[in-house]
Chains A and B, each alone.
Chain A
């Protein structure tokens, strides 16, 4: 069980044909914590996630896992530390769920194993049981429903078995039931597996139910960050979303939730 944190130091980014700069961001993400990036559309949540995933090259700053600088690592060493679960992933070919999941083993196999004799990994079967994918393994990925596809993509990331998990809007296309199941998995991965979890998230109503820490973003900047409750109760939320919102508590868990205003 790991206690190594992910540290961002003065991290910033700029698209070539755009003047605005994302960041600079600094902060420490610790194992067992779920961090949510929230903010209005276009705030730069997904960009920060892809920056953390080292897919985009930072303008300045570093990301370190323990004392390892992610930008200095080989692609395979980096992919043993972190991976990203996309919001949707259209695939133009016929892959079934088992084939999709086994792509997560890429980083754990040597070149000869990949080409000639794929060594079966116990992770693959564990993940299938854990995410209840048994009935889906032989189904074509393209025929899955939104909730099933999201679970299969999470499964691929779990087979990859990284201590850091980045998720882009994991519940954006899911109905409340499937969203709840997915959130429950994320909580378990944080509490039990002690993973560092970072989620780009847009739903103010539910973010307080699972996030430990919230980074509130606007126009590429982190406006405030801190414990979820403090951020959600801050008046910055209404200011940035440019609307009046009702801050209240979940009747059962007493966690902070934000609802739209209803004056009628």
Chain B
């Protein structure tokens, strides 16, 4: 069964996640006392204002933040191992520009539909799969070709998106707000399908951890080790795209979680995916819940987009990482 050391490893991240969720419930633009929070936890059914704030506004938002953070971090870990590149992120093969393109298309073609995030989801998934099929050659998909095609596709889609935004300035502000990333106003009804798909995908990713370990050596060596590379790589790309697209659907574009969290976990707990993937999910969740608490109520500014907070924390760490990696490799 699961070894004791592994359970011990989970203790801290899970405790932090619970702590962050409780903090998030108690803290926000509307001042609630801890007594009110306790009353709400004891009697969730009463139709009080604090109950509505805690159970229908803050809790779904925090759960969304946790799911988005966990999913992006997990998708990042997959991309980094598959592409043999510790600096890869979930958006690397065109997921973000695809999402932007999808969102713009929806707001141009069906301006009244309010389906911006659904368009983003479909665009994100579509871009990844387009890149995947274009990269197919000689019976298999080469990871480097996939990155290059994903990059080229990103530029093309980005150009289309900019063009469309310039042609219709009304959509511009809407898309811009979405690109900054935010989970404001998420209710329980938004969460049903994403939570099922995200936790389901996450469990399936955990089950593929040994194959991801083999991928540290690249696809050819993984093949010689006995991994079914054709299956593993399409399977993991599908799961990573689903996780990313779902995160985009709920929260827009949030950078740096997928890049930074797998690094922190590798540094703290080692590189073995069987141990590290659940921790990546939990710590990603903690990170984004924490970022959301800050984003919800910055003193004297008010609410700021979650993507900005994530970038403000993750960005400097990423720069530190780049400098550090260079120092090690030279």
CB < 8 Å: which of B209, B221, B266 contacts A86? B221
Complex Cα gap A204–B89 (Å): 46
Which segment of A77-85, A126-134, A229-237 sits at the interface? A77-85
Chain B residues closer than 8 Å to A54, beta-carbon distance? 223
Tell yes or no: B86 within 8 A of A by CB: yes
CB < 8 Å: which of A53, A93, A95, A115 contacts B224? A53
Complex Cα gap A82–B224 (Å): 8
Complex Cα gap A114–B209 (Å): 9
Q: Chain B nearest CB: distance from A72 CB in Å?
A: 14
A-B contact pairs, 13 of them (CB 8 A): A57-B139, A75-B229, A76-B226, A92-B86, A99-B271, A104-B225, A106-B210, A106-B213, A111-B210, A114-B210, A116-B274, A142-B328, A160-B225
Tell yes or no: B45 within 8 A of A by CB: no
State whether A79 touches B138 (Cβ < 8 A).
no
Q: Chain A nearest CB: distance from B134 CB in Å?
A: 15
Complex Cα gap A131–B328 (Å): 28
Tell yes or no: B84 within 8 A of A by CB: yes
Given contacts A94-B271, A106-B214, contact A15 B226 (CB under 8 A): no
Main DSSP-derived SS at the B contact region = loop
Q: Which residues of A (99-139) have their CB < 8 Å from a CB of B?
A: 99-100, 103-104, 106-107, 109, 111, 114-117
State whether B224 touches A83 (Cβ < 8 A).
yes
Residues of B with Cβ closer than 8 Å to A? 1-3, 84-86, 137-139, 206-207, 209-210, 213-214, 216-218, 220-221, 223-229, 266, 270-272, 274, 328
Tell yes or no: A253 within 8 A of B by CB: no
Tell yes or no: A241 within 8 A of B by CB: no
| A to B contact number (C-beta, < 8 Å) | 88
Complex Cα gap A148–B316 (Å): 36
Q: Chain B nearest CB: distance from A81 CB in Å?
A: 10
Chain B residues closer than 8 Å to A79, beta-carbon distance? 224-226
Complex Cα gap A103–B273 (Å): 12
Given contacts A16-B137, A89-B218, A115-B210, contact A55 B223 (CB under 8 A): yes
Q: Chain B nearest CB: distance from A61 CB in Å?
A: 16
CB < 8 Å: which of A82, A84, A116 contacts B2? A116
The winner among A55, A78, A109, A160 for most chain B CB atoms within 10 A is A55
Complex Cα gap A108–B92 (Å): 34
Complex Cα gap A89–B219 (Å): 12
State whether A115 touches B209 (Cβ < 8 A).
yes
Chain A residues closer than 8 Å to B272, beta-carbon distance? 99
Q: Chain B nearest CB: distance from A32 CB in Å?
A: 22
State whether B271 touches A106 (Cβ < 8 A).
no
Q: Chain B nearest CB: distance from A218 CB in Å?
A: 24
Complex Cα gap A94–B262 (Å): 13
Q: Chain A nearest CB: distance from B105 CB in Å?
A: 34
Given contacts A92-B86, A95-B216, A106-B214, contact A75 B226 (CB under 8 A): yes
Complex Cα gap A94–B84 (Å): 12
Give the nearest-CB partner of A109 in chain B.
B210
Chain A residues closer than 8 Å to B2, beta-carbon distance? 116-117
Chain B residues closer than 8 Å to A55, beta-carbon distance? 220, 223-224
Q: Chain A nearest CB: distance from B74 CB in Å?
A: 16
CB < 8 Å: which of A82, A93, A114, A116 contacts B271? A93
Chain A residues closer than 8 Å to B214, beta-carbon distance? 103, 106
Give the nearest-CB partner of B86 in chain A.
A92
Tell yes or no: A261 within 8 A of B by CB: no
Given contacts A89-B218, A115-B210, contact A94 B266 (CB under 8 A): yes
Q: Which residues of A (45-81) have their CB < 8 Å from a CB of B?
A: 50, 53-55, 57, 74-76, 78-80
Give the nearest-CB partner of B210 in chain A.
A114
Complex Cα gap A92–B83 (Å): 10
State whether B138 touches A15 (Cβ < 8 A).
yes
Chain B residues closer than 8 Å to A82, beta-carbon distance? 224
Give the nearest-CB partner of B139 in chain A.
A57
Give the nearest-CB partner of A118 in chain B.
B274
Chain B residues closer than 8 Å to A116, beta-carbon distance? 1-3, 274
CB < 8 Å: which of B207, B209, B271 contacts A95? B271
Tell yes or no: A192 within 8 A of B by CB: no
Q: Chain B nearest CB: distance from A78 CB in Å?
A: 7
Complex Cα gap A91–B329 (Å): 11
Complex Cα gap A116–B2 (Å): 5
The 10 closest A-B pairs by CB, nearest first: A79-B226, A107-B226, A114-B210, A75-B228, A76-B226, A83-B224, A84-B224, A106-B225, A16-B138, A55-B223
Q: Chain B nearest CB: distance from A12 CB in Å?
A: 15
Q: A57-B138, A84-B224 are in contact. List 20 more A-B contacts (CB 8 A).
A: A15-B138, A16-B138, A50-B220, A53-B223, A74-B228, A75-B227, A79-B225, A86-B221, A89-B217, A91-B216, A92-B84, A93-B216, A103-B214, A103-B216, A103-B225, A104-B225, A106-B213, A115-B209, A115-B210, A142-B328
The winner among B84, B221, B266 for most chain A CB atoms within 10 A is B221
Complex Cα gap A95–B84 (Å): 13
State whether B274 touches A83 (Cβ < 8 A).
no
Complex Cα gap A210–B180 (Å): 64
Chain A residues closer than 8 Å to B229, beta-carbon distance? 75
Chain A residues closer than 8 Å to B217, beta-carbon distance? 89, 91, 100, 103
Complex Cα gap A74–B210 (Å): 17
